[in-house]
Every structure is written in structure tokens, then in C-alpha cells.
Structure 1
Amino acid sequence: MEFNAEMDNQNLFLYIVPVFALLGYFGSQFVFKNILSKIRKDAKLDEKLNTYQTASIIKYALIEGPAFLAIVAYNSSGNALPLVIGICLILYLAVQRPNREKIIESLPLTLEEKRKLEHH
């Protein structure tokens, strides 16, 4: 398989991959924020954390799908553009890894819940 960066008008992957990458990126942000916005402040901490976990899994899937498509597109065409897009999506996915600070910042937590999470 050769490695090239030429635009081939016959290769639909060169049009589909960037569109799906953008949809995955923006869609993941939208869905994640939308799910988190529905969390009630008076909900139990476990419920808030479970909802955060669900929202995160959906967000990751919306990023992984286009990344996987990009790698398949690269394997079938040998064109570097899908590979670069796929690598960028995978790197972005790695940055999305949850940590305590992100969770505390993202969830509508009470002061007591924040203290509880900070001390674990």
C-alpha cells in the first residue's frame, strides 16, 4: 500500500471522513452537554456520577466511530488525509479522559458533594 496525500475525486472516503469527523466532534460535545444539563442538583451523587459516565461513554463512541471510519478509509485508499484525521480524533479522545477536576466542574454538585469527591 502506498502513502499519498493527493486528492482523488473518485474516492468518496476523502469527502465522507471529514464530514463524519466534524459531526462526531460537534455531536459528541452537544450530546454530552445536553445529557449533563438534565441532571438535577437535588439528585443523589451516585445518580449524577452514573449520568456523567453514560454521557461520557456516548461522547467517546461519537468520537471513536469517525476515527475507526478514518482508519478503514486509509487502509482502503492509502491516502494520508483519513489517517491524519483518525489520529487527530484518537488524540482528542485521549484528552477527554475524565478526572476528578473535570467531573467536579461539569456536574451540578452541592458543596458537600464537592468536598466528598475532593477527598476521595
Structure 2
Amino acid sequence: MNYNQPATATPKNALKTTSIIHLALITGQVLFMIVAYITNKNIKYFDYKDSRDDVFFYIVPLMAIVCTVIGGFLFNQQLGKFHQQAAGTSKTLLEKLKVYQSASIVRYALLEGPSLFGIVCFLLTGNLFYLLISACLIITMISLRPSVNAAEAYLQLSYDETQQLL
């Protein structure tokens, strides 16, 4: 008996698991944002011009941009490396989806980190500018939702493999 994979390891379940992870990460960020907004005792204000004394004013947007770019780069690099290694060999759909899942989780983590940091900076300062940046990162993450079409495009799936996911 193979103990490495659960008995229910199917391509459909692998994609479903990735979707559940994605939803959980987004839900956690949104709930944290709501709780932070409600419980913040600081005066809430929106300032994106005169924050020269606030070091977070430079760090949060820079982190958001850098981590978004690095996340996309690492995602593409992992999938590219997999395609190079898989060239000439036949990989199962489940193996392909595991690579997609791990690459996606890295990408999501690199979006979630700056988002959570922005929410914490809002808690510390009361500046809604940081929540705006976090909201943009959450929207970006929502747009990267795993789906059959996304898996088909990124993994270059055949028609038969795509049909297994439907």
C-alpha cells in the first residue's frame, strides 16, 4: 500500500484543496482587517501626502510591490522549471497539480505577508492608507483564484487532462 498519498488523492481534489487554501488565506486577511478597523482606538485618518515622519509610509508600499513582483517571478520560475524537467517524460495530472499548488501557495504567501503588515501598520498609526494597500493586495490575491482554466493555462494541460478536472 502506498502511504504517501491519501486514498482520495484525485486531480479534482487537488485543485479543490488549492481553492480551499486560497479561500482560507483571503478570509483570514479580510477578517483581520475588519477586526483591526473595529478595534482600532487610534484616530482614523487617510494621509498619503504628509507622512514623511512615518517610516511605514515607505515600507508598506515598497513591500507590497516587491513581494507581488517576487511572488509572480517565483511562481513562473517554479512552473518553468517543472516544464523543463517534465519535457520528454509523462507526468501525471496529479503531479502537475502538486507543482501548481506549491507554486500558488508561495505566491499567495508573498501577497499575504505585506497585506498583514499593512493591517498591523494601520493598527499602530490609524492611517487608512495602509488598509487601502492591504485591500489592493487582497483584490490581487482574489484575482489569482485557482480554477480549471488557470490550471489549464499554467500547466499546459491537454484536453483529456482538463476534462478530468471538470
Partner of 2:111: 63
Q: Distance between the aligned counterparts of 1:116 and 1:5, measured in 2?
A: 49
The structure 1 residue matched to 2:102, chosen from 54, 73, 87, is 54
Q: Distance between the aligned counterparts of 2:160 and 2:81, measured in 1?
A: 20
Q: Deviations over 1:3-62 (max 9, x none)?
A: 223322121110000000001111111111111112225322111100000001011000
Q: Distance between the aligned counterparts of 2:135 and 2:156, measured in 1?
A: 33
For residues 1-120 of structure 1, what are the structure 2 equivalents within 5 Å?
Answer: 1-6=42-47, 7-39=50-82, 40-41=86-87, 42-117=90-165, 120=166
Q: Deviations over 1:63-119 (max 9, x none)?
A: 0000000000111011121110011111211221101111011103234323433xx
Give me the TM-score of the superposition, normalised by structure 1: 0.90
Whose radius of gyration is greater, 1 or 2? 2
Q: Distance between the aligned counterparts of 1:80 and 1:113, measured in 2?
A: 45
Look up the SS of the partner of 2:54 in the other structure. Answer: coil
Give me the TM-score of the superposition, normalised by structure 2: 0.66
- Cα RMSD for the two superposed structures: 1.4
Look up the SS of the partner of 1:64 in the other structure. Answer: helix
Percent of matched pairs sharing the same residue: 34
- Figure out how many residues of one structure are paired with residues of the other and give that number: 118
Letter in 1 for 2:119: I
Which structure is higher in RCO with an 8 Å CA cutoff and minimum separation 6? 2
Letter in 1 for 2:98: N
